[in-house]
Amino acid sequence: MNFPITDTVGAWVPHGRFVVEGQPTGPLAGLRFAAKDLFDVAGHTTGAGNPGWLATHSPATRHSDVVAQLLDAGATLMGKVLTDELAYSLHGDNLHYGTPLNARYPERVTGGSSSGSAAAVTAGLVDFALGTDTGGSTRVPASYCGLWGLRTTHGLVSARGLVPLHPSFDTATWLAADGEVFERVGAVLLPASNYTPRRLLVAQDAWDLADPIFTEPLQRVRDALARQLKVAPEGQRVAEPQGLTQWRQTYMTAGAYEGWLTHGAWIRDAQPAFSPAIAARWHNASTVTAEAAATARGAAAAMRAQVRSLVGTDGVLVLPSAASLAPRRDADPADVDAVRLRTMAITCIAGLSGLPQVSLPVRAPSGDMLGISLLGPAGSDLALIRLARTLHAEID
C-alpha cells in the first residue's frame, strides 16, 4: 500500500509510513490518528527518536494498550511520527530526523517531545495524534501550536507498550485541533468522572513565570470561569515556601535518577549518538546519587500532597501551559534552555502532583495562539475536558 499522506511538515519518521485500519464501526470511526514513535505497534519497531534504539530493538509483538483501544473504537492509525530522542526535551528538534514544521508559525518550533504529533495535527494531516507528557511534552506543544492537549492523571491511561522516560511521571496523552474530536478521544480512553468544580484557584507563582503575552488570556480565562462557576477567584502561591524553581529541581533530580535506572545500561552498551543537549542530560542523569534521589523523592512526595490538598476534590487551578510563545527555529541554544527551565517550573506542578491538566487554545490580543491550562483533581480528566470546552465556547 502506498502511504496515503503527503507529509508536508516532516512529521513522520522514515520507518513510520504505514497504515493500520481501525474497526469499521465505533465512536471514533472515520477519524485518522498518528502515534508518537514511543508507542508500540505490532509488527513495527518502535524507534524512540533515536536510530540506535531502532537498530537494537525488535518489532513489537502487540499494540500498546492505547493504540489497541483507539483501533477498536474505529480510528485508523496513520503510522508513527517524530519524537525528541527518548522524549528527553521540550524543544521539538531531532538530530537524526530533523525539526518538523509548525504550520501555524513556520518560523517557530512545534515544541517537544511530542513534536511530530503536534506538527501532524497542526497541519491537518490527521484528526488527532498520540503523545506523551512527562515534564510537559504535550502541554508545551499544545501551547506552541494552538492545539488542545492534556496531561492525564498519572496511571489513569495505560502505559503498557510505551517506551518510558521517567516512569513515575510518564503519561499517555493526545493532541487535537478540534475540541469536539479531542473530547471524543477522551470519552474512549478515560473513565467517567463526577467532578464538579466549586473553587477557582489562581496559580500566581506560575503566572509570574510566564511572559506578559499570557497575562490577558489568563485573566480572560479566570474571569470567564468565575462567571461560569459563580465563585470568586482565590490567588495561591502553589509552591510556597520553596518556590517553583526548587520544585523544578526536585522533579528534575528525581526524574533523572529514574531515567538512568531505566535506560542507563542500554546507553552504556549501545553508545547511541545523541544531540549535545540530550547527551548532556543523560550525562547529568548518570551522576545523580541514590542519596540525592532519595532526598528528591521525599521532597516530591510532600509537594504532591501539598498540591492535592490545595486542589481537593472540587478545585480547579488556572495556570499558563508554557512560559512563552514557541521559540524561533534559529533561536540561540542558551535562550532556548532558559525558556525550557522557566516552562518546566510551571509544568512540574502537574508532574509532581500526578494531577490532570488540560491545555486549551486561547488567542492573545496580538492574534497569537497560546495555551491556558486547567488543573483538577485526580481522575477528573474527562470532566475537566468538558469544562474546558464549555469555557472555550464562551471566550473564543
- C-beta of residue 25 within 8 angstroms of C-beta of residue 70: no
Mean pLDDT of 323-344: 95
What average pLDDT does the chain have? 97
Which one of 137, 143, 275, 324 is the catalytic residue?
137
> What is the CATH code of the structural domain delimited by 14-189?
3.90.1300.10
**Preceding peptide of 212 cis, ω within 30°:** no
The pLDDT confidence band at residue 1, using thresholds 50, 70 and 90, is low
pLDDT digits (tens, 9 = 90+) for 231-288: 999 999 999 999 999 999 999 999 999 999 999 999 999 999 999 999 999 999 999 9
**The pLDDT of residue 135:** 97
Judge whether 230 counts as a catalytic residue.
Answer: no
Catalytic residue among 89, 113, 115, 359: 113
Residue 355 has what pLDDT? 98
Q: Is the pLDDT of residue 190 over 80?
A: yes
How do strand 357-363 and strand 315-320 relate by DSSP bridges? unpaired
Read off the pLDDT of residues 350-366 as tens digits, 9 standing for 90 and up.
999 999 999 999 999 99
Q: Residue 290: is it exposed, middle or buried by C-beta count within 10 angstroms (0-12/13-18/19+)?
A: exposed
pLDDT beyond 90 at 396: no
Asked whether the predicted pLDDT for residue 32 surpasses 80, the reply is yes
- What average pLDDT score do residues 149-156 get? 98
150-168 b/e (C-beta count within 10 Å ≥ 16 → b): bbbbbebbebebbbbbbeb
Q: What is the pLDDT of residues 66-97, one digit of tens each?
A: 999 999 999 999 999 999 999 999 999 999 99
Mean pLDDT of 182-207: 97
Over range 298-314, report the average pLDDT. Answer: 98
Range name among 1-10, 64-73, 179-188, 255-264 with the lowest pLDDT average: 1-10
Where in the chain is CATH 3.90.1300.10? 14-189
Asked if omega into 353 is within 30° of 0 (cis), the reply is: no
